[in-house]
Structures are given as structure tokens and as C-alpha cells.
Amino acid sequence: MTHRVETPLAVLLLVGIVAGCSTTPQRTLPVSRTAAAAPAVAPAADDADARFKAALELMKTQQFAEAEAAFSALARDFPALSGALTNLGILHAQARDRDAALQSFSRAVEANPDNAVALNWLGVLYRESGDHARAEQAYRRALAAQPQYAPAQLNLGILYDLYLQRPHDAVAAYRSYREAGGGDLIVEAWIREIEGRHGTRTALSGAAP
């Protein structure tokens, strides 16, 4: 069987960086390989947007300790900013600090229940701990909030495929991922593999996530 790796831990940062101070999750940003220049003037303490952008630049340029400190301060000063809490959770997850990551993502969802990025990450962390029911719930909540969010569609398919042994639902999730523009040759191969193992019954799969 082809090995599946859940997206956020396989492509850390490329999937989950929240690119705005708004509580609405944004799309992926590439990671720059260049060092960040020190800003000439530090953002004002009450300027949440400027502080967020400065912290995000640290994260994008892989100055992770500095980014964590900046997002921690921002989350402390502006606890309703779901994006800051989400990026803080990503940094904790990257450092393999699972408890801190869970706390940050949970707080991000409390601030914005429709934060698909944070919900998707919660799904991965729950899956890693063997809590497959909560992982499924988190992925489905992410897709209820943002139906075309490809990382959650892919991770839900992997959960059904490898962990819950639900091939029909796995194929439905993989097809939804493909229809959202996330399709690639690897996922196409997974679909064919499942259909080869289970015959044409996958064509009668249940509702798409």
C-alpha cells in the first residue's frame, strides 16, 4: 500500500500559515529562504495588524524563536485574534510540543469557530494520539466552515483510508480533494488502489465530506 502522510506534518508551514490578522484563515504562503532584515521601526504596541505582519515575516523567513515570541505577545495582547493563535500553534507543532499546539489551536477555534486551518491541525494532532473520532470531527468541522479547503479533504481521506478502514468514504474525500483543485498523480493512484482492492463498490460511496 502506498504510504500516506497527513499534509500539515509532511509539509509544515506550507499548508497552515495564516496570512492575515483577520480571523478568517487564508491560503498558503511559500517559505522564503532569505534572512529577514530588522525593521527600522518596531510596530506600535496597539497596532495589531502591523505586529501580525512583522511576526508573519519572521515565520516566513524561518526565524522561528523570534516568531513564536512575537505571536505569543500578540495572542496575549489581542486574545481574540484567531490568526495569531493559529500561527503560534503551527510553531508549537513544528517544535513537536503537542500540548502547547493543542492549546493554541483550541484557543484559535474558540476565537473563530470557522477557522479551517486550526481545525485541520487539531485533526492531525488528534489522529496522531489515536483519537480518530475527534480527528474526523475536526476535519469535518473544517470542511463545514470552508468546503473547498483541500488539506482537510485530503487528511479526512487518509483518515478513512488508513485508520478507519472506510474505503468508500476515503474515495469520496479524495475525489472532493481533487475537485477542489488539490488533485495530483499520487492521490489518483490512491483512488485506483482502493478501487482495485474493493472493486466498483467505491462508485457507490456515501456523501462527500
Alpha-carbon dihedral 25, 45, 100, 4, rounded to 10 degrees: 30
- Residue 174 inside a domain? The answer is yes
Mean pLDDT by 10 residues, the chain (209 residues): 51 39 33 39 84 95 96 95 96 97 98 98 97 98 97 97 96 94 86 83 39
Q: How many domains does the chain have?
A: 1
Q: Hunting for cell 530588522 — which residue is that?
A: 38
Q: Using an 8 Å Cβ cutoff, are 163 and 15 in contact? A: no
CATH code (residue 59): 1.25.40.10
Assess if residue 209 is contained within a domain. Answer: no
Alpha-helical (H) ranges within 5-164 are 7-10, 48-60, 64-77, 82-94, 98-111, 116-128, 132-145, 150-158
Q: How high is the pLDDT of residue 140? A: 98
Q: What does the block give as the cell for 121?
A: 491541525
What is the pLDDT at residue 3?
A: 58
Q: What is the pLDDT at residue 70?
A: 97
Give the pLDDT score at 44.
86
Residue 2 lies in a domain: no
Exposed, middle or buried: residue 121 (CB in 10 Å: 0-12, 13-18, 19+)? buried
pLDDT digit string (tens) for 146-158? 999 999 999 999 9
Within a domain: 115: yes
Q: Considering the domain boundaries, does residue 1 fall inside one?
A: no
Domain that holds residue 200: 7-204
| Residue 172 resides in a domain | yes
- pTM as predicted: 0.78
